Amino acid sequence: MKISDAANRVPAPALFITAGFSQYIGAALAVGLFTLAPPHTVAWTRALVAGVVLLALIRPWRYSWTKKTLLESAVFGSVLLAMNVTFYIAINYLPLGAAVALEFVGPVIVAARGAAGIRGKVSVALAAAGVALISFVGLDWSGVGPREIGIGLVAIFVASAFWAGYMLIGGKIASERSGQASLAVGMIAAALLFLPASLPWAGGLARWDALWLIIGMGLLSSVVPYMLDQVTIRRLGTATFALLNALLPATATVVGFLGLRQIPTVGELAGLVAITVAVALSTRAAVPAVEERKKVDGD
C-alpha cells in the first residue's frame, strides 16, 4: 500500500506510540463487549472485521499464491487469532497493563534465546521476576476469586506462547513474501476456522450499539496498528522497532487507567518495570546474533 505523505512527515516513534495506544484502546472497547458475548467470540469478530478491511485495502489476489503459501498464511492467521482469543480471555479477569506485561514473557524468551551473553540471561531473570511480582504481589486476589485469577494467568501465558509462535512464523513469512497480503488471507482463514466455535455465542452482539464497538475494535486493535507497524519497521529497522516494544506494557497501563479505571498496584508497577527492562535488554542482546547470521549468510 502506498504510504501517504502525511504519515511520512510524522516521526516514526510517534507512529509506533500511536499504534500502541490504538491497539489497547481497541482492547478496552473489547472489554465493554464481554457483557454481550464471551471473550473468544469478541476476538473472533475482531478478526473477521479486520480481515475484511485488510482484504479491501491490500487486495491479496494481486499476488501469486501456491498451496504452500496459502497454508502457511492460514497457520499464521490462526496462531494470531488464537493469541487474540486467549488474550481476551485473560483481560476478562486481569488488569490490561498487567496482562500485556505478562504476555511479553514469550517474546522475551524468543529474543533472548539466541543471546549467549549476560544480557540474555539477565533479561530472562528480569522477566521471571516481573511475572512473580505481578502474579503474586501485584494482583489483588481478594477482589476476584483465586479461580478467576488463575484462569486469567493461564490464558495470558498461553497467549504469550502463541505470540512467540506468531513472531517466528511472521518473521519467516515477511522474509519471503508480502507480510500484509499473508496477514489478510490468514485472518480470513482463521475467522472461518474459528467460526463454529464462535458464531453460536454471537447473538448478543447483533445490535447497533455493539456493531459500532465491534467495527471500532477491529479497526483500532488490528487494522490501524498493523498498517502503522509496517511504516515504522521500514523507517526504523527491525532492531529499533523491536526495542520500542518495551513501551507497550506502559502504554497498556495508561489505557487501562484512563479507559477502564484500572489503578495499578505497587507490585504491578514493579513487575511492569522489570518486564519492560527485560524486553529492552533481550532485544539488544538478540541484535548481534541477528547481524552475525546476516554476515554469515552473506559470505
pLDDT digits (tens, 9 = 90+) for 92-124: 988 887 888 788 777 777 666 655 567 767 777
pTM, to two decimals: 0.79
Kindly list the distances between the CA atom of residue 124 and the CA atoms of 51, 68, 95, 128, in Å, as whole numbers in the listed order: 34, 35, 23, 6
Cα–Cα distance for residue pair 215/48, rounded to 1 Å = 10
> What does the mean pLDDT of the chain come to?
80
pLDDT at 262: 79
- How would residue 283 be classed by pLDDT, with cut points 50, 70 and 90? low
Would 1 be classed as within a structural domain?
no
- How would residue 299 be classed by pLDDT, with cut points 50, 70 and 90? very low
Count: domains in the chain: 1
pLDDT at 245: 67
- How would residue 36 be classed by pLDDT, with cut points 50, 70 and 90? very high
pLDDT at 97: 76
Would 8 be classed as within a structural domain?
no
- How would residue 1 be classed by pLDDT, with cut points 50, 70 and 90? very low
Would 122 be classed as within a structural domain?
yes
Which of 23-27, 118-122, 216-220 is least confident? 118-122
Q: What is the pLDDT of residues 178-193, one digit of tens each?
A: 778 888 999 999 999 9
User: Does residue 152 contact residue 92 with C-beta atoms inside 8 Å?
Assistant: yes
**For residue 182, what are the domain limits?**
13-298
On the question of pLDDT at 2 being above 50, the answer is no
Would 211 be classed as within a structural domain?
yes
On the question of pLDDT at 73 being above 50, the answer is yes
Q: Where are the alpha helices (DSSP H) in the chain?
A: 5-9, 12-33, 39-58, 67-91, 96-103, 105-112, 118-132, 146-176, 179-198, 208-218, 224-236, 238-244, 248-260, 266-298
Would 221 be classed as within a structural domain?
yes
On the question of pLDDT at 83 being above 80, the answer is yes
Mean pLDDT of 210-234: 84
Burial class (CB in 10 A: 0-12, 13-18, 19+), 56: exposed
On the question of pLDDT at 28 being above 50, the answer is yes
pLDDT at 240: 59
- How would residue 132 be classed by pLDDT, with cut points 50, 70 and 90? confident
Would 196 be classed as within a structural domain?
yes
Would 5 be classed as within a structural domain?
no
Q: What is the 3-state secondary structure (H, E, C) of 73-112?
A: HHHHHHHHHHHHHHHHHHHCCCCHHHHHHHHCHHHHHHHH
Phi/psi of residue 113, nearest 5 degrees? -65, -30
Which of 69-78, 117-126, 154-163 is least confident? 117-126
